[in-house]
Copies of this chain bind each other. A is one copy, B any other.
Amino acid sequence: MSNEDKLKGYSGPIKKKLEQLNIKIWDRIKITSDKDKFEGILLPRTEFDKPNFYYLKLDNGYNIGVEYQEDHKIEVIGYHEGKYQLPEKKVIYNEKKPNISLLGTGGTIASRLDYRTGAVLPAFTPAELFTAVPELEEICNLDTKIVFELLSEDMTPEKWQILGREVAHQINDNNVDGVVIAHGTDTMAFTGTALSLMLKDLPVPVVMVGSQRSSDRPSSDSAMNLIHAINVAAKSDIAEVLLCMAGSSNHKFGYIHRPGLVRKMHSSRRDTFKTIGSRPIGMVEKDKITIFETNYNKRSKNKRKKVKLDDKFDPRVGLIYHYPGIQPDIIENLIDNDYHGIVIAGTGLGHISKNLIEPCKKAISNNIAIVMTVQTLWGFTGLQVYERGRELLNIGIIPGHNLLPESAYVKLSWVLGHTRDLSEINKLMRENIAGEIFDREIYKGFLIFQGVEPWINDILTKI
């Protein structure tokens, strides 16, 4: 390690103090003073970090900054870097096992410590993965490929296309039995919805998976999620794009969702993904896959088919959540910047304020498609019920029915990739293409809107 690397990113009095004590990054240290007591691994720092802080990785997996104080006492307890370097296992191909392709896009899953930030870095080979999660070797032959390395907040429609093409290539050219896509959880549902529209007549499952806690944290969900997703890809009969993530806080099982109906609903919980307004398709507990009865026909595996890639997207779509006091400039800006479509998450059954009607009219007369959804997330648009809604129908706003605002955004981008004809767009938006549209809340009052059921209320009044 060069002298520079030993204290990477540290400067000023902190650097001086660490040098005096001959402490280097990756040392496990204890910082104490009258009021402070911290123990953890000294992490390297980045250009973005505030100066004058020690950065420590605590044993609970979190990184913290401890502000420099002259009277801090610092001791070295050990050295830790080696923990994040996995030994590599020899991988043996077994022709009796299904072949699964695992595509990496960045994100928290199957990651190791990012030396730059103390955050996590996606990097996986089959050997690394089989070493870290030995259960995977029992399930399948695994091939891995990093398609790109992104923070998932940097995903774009262009990246959806690249990923869709890669999935089609793996299925049609490499003849795999299933594809698993490791993806950051933040925008996983958007990407999944995009893939579900792009990949027609899928012969095998394509399963999105991710992790809410990185694999260097004791509470990580990455191994269990990966085991579940790879089992679904290798063994299930559902030849659709799916999203498989933890189903409960104790993480005993995973849910199998349709991405167009799913939304990330908690910033940090492992069971963050919820199918909105319906039920997940099924669940998976280790290798046991249970399919719930649904009103939708699932598409079954059929390896003789080829997937048809339909990857046209128009990225010039905006998504707007309505709020009281919203001004016309929000719509006018999209007209001026040559957007081709706008999704509005309206209030209630899909309403907007009076002052947005003129700009919406103008947008539609400029051939911009406007799709209305409900910001309540649960429920349906009902533009025929009130006067305002009927006025919106009358000016040509397209009702999004049960579509989540986020799914409507992805779908409108895809639809606009195929046509700019407003009546054709209207038709396609209402058509169920990949399970994203449903007619009614089939399991009314259950899972759809759980907190209100009697058994919850009984408990509520007791605790």
Contacts and interface: CB of A to CB of B under 8 A. Distances in A.
B153 A347 contact: yes
A57 to B, nearest CB: 12
A267 B156 contact: no
A249 B452 contact: yes
A378 interface: yes
A177 interface: no
A49 B116 CA distance: 62
A255 to B, nearest CB: 9
A200 to B, nearest CB: 22
A325 B250 CA distance: 34
A269 B64 CA distance: 44
B267 A378 contact: yes
A153 B456 contact: no
B384 A267 contact: no
A268 interface: yes
A283 interface: yes
Query: Chain B CB within 10 Å — which of A272, A315, A348 has the most?
Result: A348
Nearest to A151: B388
A76 interface: no
Given A333-B333, A386-B119, A449-B271, A153 B352 contact: yes
Contacts of A271: 449, 452
A460 interface: yes
Nearest to A274: B451
A60 interface: no
Copies in the complex: 2
Contact of A267 (B322, B348, B354): B348
Contact of A117 (B327, B348, B387, B405): B387
A148 B243 CA distance: 47
A391 interface: yes
Contacts of A457: 247-248, 253
A48 B391 contact: yes
Contacts of A443: 463
Interface in A44-66: 46, 48-50, 62-65
Contacts of A347: 152-153, 186-187, 264
A290 B461 contact: yes
Given A323-B406, A337-B329, A451-B447, A387 B186 contact: no
A234 B107 CA distance: 53
Contacts of A267: 348-350, 374, 376, 378-382
Nearest to A455: B455
Contacts of A87: none
A135 to B, nearest CB: 22
Nearest to A374: B267
Contacts of A253: 457
A153 B351 contact: yes
Contacts of A266: 376, 378-379, 449
A49 B391 CA distance: 8
Nearest to A409: B323
Contacts of A290: 461
Interface string A242-271: 000001111001000000000111111101
A428 B266 CA distance: 25
A180 B459 CA distance: 29
Query: Chain B CB within 10 Å — which of A152, A324, A333, A387 has the most?
Result: A324
Contacts of A414: none
Contacts of A65: 384
A91 interface: no
A113 to B, nearest CB: 13
A309 interface: no
A194 B390 CA distance: 29
A347 B283 CA distance: 26
A190 interface: yes
Nearest to A271: B452
19 contacts: A49-B390, A65-B384, A117-B387, A152-B347, A152-B348, A153-B353, A155-B324, A157-B324, A159-B324, A185-B348, A249-B452, A249-B453, A271-B452, A317-B325, A321-B321, A321-B405, A446-B460, A447-B460, A450-B451
Closest 8 CB pairs of A and B: A267-B379, A186-B347, A186-B348, A333-B333, A153-B351, A155-B324, A266-B378, A450-B451
